[in-house]
Amino acid sequence: MAHPALTPQQLARTAAEVSPRLGHLVLAALTFLAAALYVPDRFAALVLMGVAGTLAALALMLRGLAGRHRRAEDALRAGIAAVAGHDAAPCMTTTPDGEVGWANAAAAERFGDIAGSTLARALGDLFANPSAVVFRLQNRAAATGAAQEEVVTRRGHVRLAVHRLGEAGCFWRFDEIGDRGGGRGAETLSLPMLTASRSGTVLFMNEPLRNLLGGRVKTLDRVFTRLPVRSGEEVEVSAAGGPVRAILGEIEGPAGRRELYLLPLGEGGAAAPAAGGISFDGLPVPVLRLAPDGQILAANRLARELLSLQPEGPLPRLAEVVDGPGRPLRDWLAEAAAGRGGIRPEVLRAIRRSDEVFVQVALRPVSEDGRAALIAVLTDATELKTLEGQFVQSHKMQAIGQLAGGIAHDFNNLLTAISGHCDLLLLRHDRGDQDYADLVQIHQNANRAASLVGQLLAFSRKQTLSPEILDLRDLLSDLIHLLGRLVGQRVTLTLSADPELPPVRADRRQFEQVLMNLVVNARDAMPAGGEIRIETETLHLSEELRRDNAVVPPGDYVVVRVCDAGEGIPPERLAKIFEPFFTTKRQAEGTGLGLSMVYGIVKQSGGFIFVDSAVGQGTTFSLLLPAQDAAAGAAAPAPPPEPVRPTPGVAGAAILLVEDEAPVRAFAARALRLKGYSVIEADTAEAALEVLADPAVAVDLVVTDVVMPGMDGPTWVREALRDRPEMRVVFVSGYAEESLNDAHARIPNAVFLAKPFSLGDLTATVQRQLH
């Protein structure tokens, strides 16, 4: 069996390990040589002399390798000493077994004489469980070559960095980061405090807390009698001399760590002076002392900074610095002073700040000199409130989308019945009839209503893009009337279009949404009124355009600009306007999603969007969309509308009509019978299955609604196709077709007809399916 060869480093290390035993090898060689001189057998003497020579050669080789290893170690140590010897941070090397080999002056000053000691033992007084940290870092360094980790110590934070030195061991460096809490000096702070991990492991506790507990503990359940604990709450500490009540203050640290500070309570609930005489102003968490009527009696430095209170002068009432919790502030304070209502913390808005800041206020009743008072522990809850607002806004948008979809479905059913019966009336009236013009008006307004409902679905629901070749001149001409109604009477909307504008490739409904969002934003930027301009032009780039971290490749582009003369966007906000949930509007006035949706749609269409703005002068959004060949836009003209005239049906064709809305069912049945079809009506899916259960009933085509009480359209059709696999299907629905793609894609011979549909739409679709 072949054994792997040793590397030169391994061989040198082996030589160094056996070098203390080289004398034994030399002695053995001399012994074999002496024996060879006195053995009478010449052959045996030659063998003994050969063994002696081999041992001597091995001893010389090992001695040379050991010397080389020592010289390499000395060179490595000299190189490290030259680089890190004068480093202000403690540095040292360790052997593969963890023993300290070399240490610089900073390490000697920090840890003392640790040569020959293990690194874990040297770090024992610095933080808890050093062996696990050293083992973890060594394993990571062995795998990747280097590793680092931040550890909480009694002096603050320290960053341990380790680098692998081949077979020689590891090089360590210790960076004292200090206290992350703004220079609070945890070890020298006279207020009891600790640092805990997310899992509840105590990473560090200062001397006042160790004295209070009677020693160091490892988990939070050994500190507090009941978990969990929250900032501002009154807690009970498992002190060495018995339970001690205290008010807890918490500051969130890095990597999910928690810094917990304890303000012990004396007799009657009054705040006891901390050991060492720490001042109220020096407390490391924002704290207020309040009278039961809300007058602020005292505020420490951090509380004054958080609430924007003047450092000197009389203090205001609490109601003058924060908004109430949704009920009278006086009632909340009275309940807290009386100890009623569970004294839940409330999140309030600081009204003296120029920026929007939310503060969680936790109240605890205390007694000072026999008078009732309140201690309020404050926590900056701005980030939490912002996330909560984004979550609520997201759910609101989802609810609005669902509501809009449901409304659109119901309206589409009504519009189908209105426009359908109008079509039937138009069949019985000539142009000269005095009622003909009124019927045409009803029909046109029903179509306009259908267009608005379609836009409601497009603007309120996230849909897959269906790009097509668009002539923006026609699109803007159709859309300008809707946009004019959106901007109101105080705002003038003007359109300046390039008459030679080439077509673009985009989703029509989504591009309408882009323009609507930009125009609405422009309107909101001019509350006193003004002018919004929509401009289009063709742009040719002979070389790439670099702007705003985007690279626009050379080529022909269609540029669409939306310009306003509004308030403008400050430079510090300009880089954030496309971020989701970012909005400059007040609460409930904007979603913060409009421009992020605009950005996504434009980018998904292969285009670019840029913004130019100056405060007080206005804002211009520029869309760049790749221009398409004009011939491509004219290659597929839109099919002409189906004329509303009776056409001969397919002889003998039987149609099963399934629709739960009676007016829609009545119109569709009459329309199909006018075409010569035989129509069987059913108001539910279950009734349709009963009809098809009779094998004597012949059905060539099914026209069915999708959303119905009981079984929906795709479900009952799949069941019916088991016995009638050749049956053709037309699905109709007031919802968007995208919501049905997955459902009817698995059903053979099925097509979709969106509501509202006209008489001509229905009969044309049926004819195509039957042929």
DSSP 508-575: HHHHHHHHHHHHHHHHHT-TT-EEEEEEEEEEEESS-EEETTEEEPSEEEEEEEEEE-SS---HHHHT
Distance CA 524, CA 689 (A): 54
Tokens 């607002």 locate to 389
Tokens 């100056």 locate to 614
Distance CA 727, CA 656 (A): 11
**Quick check: helix, strand or coil at residue 617?**
coil
Q: What is the pLDDT of residue 184?
A: 42
Distance CA 178, CA 211 (A): 23
- Where does residue 81 fall: left (phi above 0), alpha (psi -120 to 50 degrees), or beta otherwise? alpha
How far does the chain reach from its first CA to its final CA, in angstroms?
80
Q: 66 - beta bridge partners?
A: none
Q: Do the Cβ atoms of 404 and 456 come closer than 8 Å? A: yes
Q: What is the pLDDT of residue 8?
A: 45
Q: What is the pLDDT of residues 232-290, one digit of tens each?
A: 777 889 988 888 888 787 877 666 678 888 877 655 444 544 444 456 777 778 889 89
CA 407 to the chain's CA centroid: 31
Burial of 336 (C-beta count, 10 Å sphere; 0-12/13-18/19+): buried
Q: Do the Cβ atoms of 616 and 569 come closer than 8 Å? A: no
Alpha carbons within 13 A on the beta-carbon side of 436:
8
Q: Where is 246: in which H helix or E strand?
A: strand 242-252
C-alpha distances in Å from residue 360, one per residue of 204, 445, 658: 26, 54, 58
**Quick check: helix, strand or coil at residue 626?**
strand
Burial of 459 (C-beta count, 10 Å sphere; 0-12/13-18/19+): middle
C-alpha distances in Å from residue 467, one per residue of 42, 301, 470, 504, 521: 102, 60, 9, 9, 25
Dihedral Cα 597, 599, 602, 608, nearest 10 deg: 170
Q: How many CB atoms lie within 10 A of CB 443?
A: 18
Regions of the chain with pLDDT less than 50: 1-19, 179-184, 268-270, 272-277, 455, 458-464, 587-589, 591, 633-649
- Pairing between strand 371-380 and 357-368? antiparallel
Dihedral Cα 697, 703, 705, 706, nearest 10 deg: 90
Distance CA 766, CA 760 (A): 10
Distance CA 95, CA 171 (A): 9
C-alpha distances in Å from residue 162, one per residue of 142, 150, 174, 556: 10, 12, 9, 55
Q: What is the pLDDT of residues 44-86, one digit of tens each?
A: 666 667 666 676 666 666 666 555 656 656 666 666 776 677 7
- Pairing between strand 100-103 and 91-94? antiparallel
- What is the edge-to-edge ordering of all strands in the sheet holding 287-290? 296-299, 287-290, 371-380, 357-368, 346-350
Q: Do the Cβ atoms of 199 and 219 come closer than 8 Å? A: no
Q: Do the Cβ atoms of 6 and 14 come closer than 8 Å? A: yes
Residues in the chain: 771
In degrees and rounded to multiples of 5, residue 4 shows phi and psi of -65, 140
